[in-house]
Structure 1
Amino acid sequence: MTNTRQLRIEIRQRRREISPHEQRIHSRDAARTFHSSPLFRQCQHLAVYLANDGELNPEPLAEKALSAGKKLYLPVLRPNTHKSLWFAPYAPGDKLISNRFGIPEPDIRKKKTVLPWALDLIIMPLVAFDTQGNRLGIGGGYYDRTLNYLRLRKQWFRPRLAGFAHERQKVQSLPSNPWDIPIHYAITESMVYKF
């Protein structure tokens, strides 16, 4: 098995090779797939992300959620902490500021943040996912640290976690560490996988 560093490089490169036209089609199709699933109907408060580096863009998904009256949130780096996230309300057109990595996020000086268990669903970016629901992220561990409490739960899993990815980001098997938090679903342009 290839090590995770090499796998990240290979799949991120594969993802970057998707044309802008194909990206738009995949994003639209994944949003349509999600919109027609029971998962969409069951959630009222959902977090999305802003696409970067060839990630599948959740903007069409966010538009469908807003038109259905759902509340959207974006991840925000917790200031001066141990690499974890808060979530802040978001609507397209909101003013965003760059965090320490240059990634746009809501200005938490002007918005009330929420903790993850206040959400029904978190749509997460990923580099790869496998058939068991393991997720390979970019490598910072922010989502894993933020959602660590889910490992200790035997019931009442909130929020549900869904990776949002191109079908070509699916692999047969990923190495998993004890601190890795698996996803419950993966949403692609083809289907919604449930793990």
Structure 2
Amino acid sequence: MFNAQQHSPSRSQIRKSIRNARKSLTNLEQEQAAKKININFFQHKKLPKNTRIGLYLSNDGELDTSYLIQSLINKNHQIYLPVIHPFNGATLLFQRYEKNSPMTRNRYDILEPQLNCSHICPLYELDYLLMPLVAFDQDGNRLGMGGGYYDKTLARYYREQMQKPELIGLAHDCQQVEKLPIQAWDVPLQQIITPSKFYQW
């Protein structure tokens, strides 16, 4: 575990350190983690039929979600992937994803569904939103990539204390730190799943 208190590193220093740690994982370690997160998720979440789940395609060493996405599709659940809003570039839309969905690369070279407004699901209609993160601490605080996309997308969700979707962070075990330096706008997650553990606050 990266000790964030020992040298009181900044958010950017933690972000760099943890990104390097997860990118140094071998292909085999990534594959094993992807399979374990798939098992761990279903051990802790019993989903009713046709559950709507917001997910992401892994990038930059993030936990590989491909096994989880495939399992959810096989169980007839609905997958929605983030798409950068075409007019309000600081927020995300969530669009239905299927095996044959046409894909495109966004400004960060990350694959996302080709925008189709008829396939967009409003945030509050998702049952779960499984979010990427760079680092998390023992209190459930989340550190993202720094673009603020999820923070801005979820601003109304937090402000109005919406009941849906249920938010869950996904991370490698190596992404946990002792304590993150938090900002006023940071809202901790109530659940984080790693390949080996399920955290709930």
Q: TM-score, normalised by structure 1?
A: 0.92
Mean Cα displacement is larger for which, 136-145 or 112-121? 112-121
- The sequence identity of aligned pairs, in percent, is 35
Residue 36 (structure 1) aligned with residue 67 (structure 2): no
Residue 17 (structure 1) aligned with residue 24 (structure 2): yes
Verify the 8 A CA contact 1:147 1:181 in the aligned structure 2.
no
1:62-97 superposed Cα distances (whole Å, 9 cap, x missing partner): 112112221100000001215000100002342201
Query: CA, structure 1 residues 92+40, in 2 after alignment: closer, same or farther (shift >3 Å)?
Result: farther
Aligned-residue offset at 1:7: 0.4
Verify the 8 A CA contact 1:49 1:75 in the aligned structure 2.
yes
Verify the 8 A CA contact 1:30 1:61 in the aligned structure 2.
yes
Structure 2 counterpart of 1:169, which letter? Q
Q: Which runs of 5+ in 1 are unaligned?
A: none
Match of 1:152 among 146, 149, 159: 159
Partner of 1:193: 199
Verify the 8 A CA contact 1:122 1:161 in the aligned structure 2.
yes
Q: Which runs of 5+ in 2 are unaligned?
A: 1-7
Verify the 8 A CA contact 1:148 1:181 in the aligned structure 2.
no
Structure 1 counterpart of 2:94, which letter? F
Structure 1 counterpart of 2:22, which letter? R
Residue 59 (structure 1) aligned with residue 66 (structure 2): yes
Q: 3-state DSSP class of the match of 1:173?
A: coil
Structure 1 counterpart of 2:187, which letter? I
Partner of 1:131: 138
Q: 3-state DSSP class of the match of 2:130?
A: strand
Tell me the number of residue pairs that the alignment of Structure 1 and Structure 2 aligns.
193
Residue 164 (structure 1) aligned with residue 154 (structure 2): no
Q: TM-score, normalised by structure 2?
A: 0.90
Partner of 1:177: 183
Kindly report which structure 2 residues correspond to 1:79-98, keeping only aligned pairs within 5 A, or say none.
79-98=86-105
Verify the 8 A CA contact 1:35 1:61 in the aligned structure 2.
no
Task: Return the alpha-carbon distance in structure 2 between the equivalents of residues 110 and 120 of structure 1.
Answer: 20
Aligned-residue offset at 1:178: 2.1
